[in-house]
Copies of this chain bind each other. A is one copy, B any other.
Amino acid sequence: MIQVTAQTLGGHIGQEVTLDGWVHRVRAMGNFAFLLVRDGRGVVQTVLEDPRLVEGLNLESAVRVTGRVVGEPRSSSGAELRVTSIEALSPALEPPPFDLNKKALEVKLDAILDHRSLSLRHPKERAVFRIEGELVECFRSYLRGQGFTEIFTSKIVAAGTEGGANLFPIEYMGTRAYLAQSPQFYKQMMIGVFGRVFEVGHVYRAEPHYTSRHINEYLSLDLEMGFIESEEDVMRMEMGFLATLMGRLEETCAEEIALLGARIPAPQAELPQITLAEAKEVLRQRFGKELSEEDDLDPESERLLCQHSAEKLGSEFLFVTRYPISVRPMYAMPDRERPGATKSFDLLFRGMEVTTGGQRIHEHAMLVASIKNRGLDPEDFAFYLEPFKHGMPPHGGLAIGAERLTSKLLDLENIRQAALFPRDIKRLTP
């Protein structure tokens, strides 16, 4: 017997097939019945000429249905299934806590997260993660094509990368360790080995506040590349990735995008960029908002600048460049031509920072001086500093927050909607 899925059904018109899935909706019509079967990616419309077949079949029961595929132009797959038998593989014991077959899940976010294994059965909820999975896969495949090597670095570290704030302590077999805030040191150390590296992995920030923009464990898409001329090379790599991603999502996730009503930006070969100083000038002149020279951008500024970019610069993405040394980490490369500035950038998208990156310091003496300037002790960074004595080429990189980019691509209100099992100050389960 041919096994089909919601995706492949349309290719089997006229054939006897079986389909595995869950009872998504049942409608008895007197002398026949409609049954919607949800499988791992879609929903299949089936018709039962014998309505007794659906008797006692609870919503969400796991079933195996057998029947003949017939053409049906009103169905999205162009086909429906005329069912001859239904096998109940695993009956549902009670109704789900909310309606999974309505157009949207009309439930508060906390309930959605409390019952994650059930809320994700809603086609719209799970569509988010199908798209996020494609986003991550595109990041990896694009970079592999550009000569990057994938690495997996430890998330248990002896000290923080930026000096120590916001770390989660671990009891590590009689000593104390921490969860890694980023793979920053490790990806730089691997430049001397592979030249270009990337990593996809969770990172941890013990920020004790609850906002719609932060979670305490997030998926970081990291890359680092050697032999660059400047941070512009890193920005170009990100532009290449994003243009590829937008094209790919329209191809591989068309159904999910339509279901969510998401507006995926058209691929752009170039994204606009302005310096942080110029950005502050825009904020002052256009929006009457004053930021001092040393201020970083606050969430409202990020929203206003994205509005400006969409309206005046033709892109929902905006690179902001040349952040001052004071707001960047000790490894940020100073800009020789502009004292006080670094060769760094953020990428804003639809009102939120989704990437931080830049060129790094590659000279040992300059890096040691920068560490000391922050009041830190170079001895504490011994293993990180080691490769810098052995021909570290000019290099730079970036980190993209996967949940942030996904939630903005899909216009989700809260970053938690783009994390399968989010962790925050209030939530450790499920």
Contact = CB atoms under 8 A, between A and B. Distances in A.
Given A41-B194, A190-B117, A201-B202, A136 B156 contact: no
A92 B391 contact: yes
Q: How many copies of the shown chain assemble into the complex?
A: 2
Nearest to A154: B421
Contacts of A151: 129, 133, 420
Interface of A: 5, 20-23, 39-41, 58, 60-62, 64, 89-94, 96, 115-118, 120-121, 126, 129-130, 133, 136-137, 140, 144, 147, 149-158, 168-173, 175, 177, 179, 186, 189-190, 192-196, 201-202, 204, 206, 208, 216-217, 219, 226-227, 362-364, 383-384, 386-387, 389-394, 402, 420-423, 425, 428-430
Given A20-B195, A89-B394, A219-B152, A189 B428 contact: no
A170 B173 contact: no
A413 to B, nearest CB: 21
B391 A192 contact: no
A116 B185 CA distance: 12
Given A121-B192, A156-B428, A170-B179, A62 B392 contact: yes
A217 B173 CA distance: 13
Contacts of A155: 155, 202, 217
Given A186-B421, A206-B173, A423-B156, A391 B91 contact: yes
A22 B192 contact: yes
B420 A227 contact: no
A94 B195 CA distance: 20
Contact of A5 (B147, B152, B154, B423): B147
Contacts of A133: 149-151
A188 B61 CA distance: 16
A362 B196 CA distance: 44
3 closest pairs, A vs B, by CB? A40-B195, A383-B430, A62-B393
A153 B421 contact: yes
Contacts of A93: 364, 389-390
Nearest to A390: B60
Given A40-B149, A156-B217, A169-B170, 5 more contacts: A20-B227, A60-B192, A91-B391, A137-B150, A170-B170
A363 B88 CA distance: 13
B420 A152 contact: yes
A286 B393 CA distance: 58
Nearest to A215: B154
A154 B217 contact: yes
Contacts of A121: 192-193
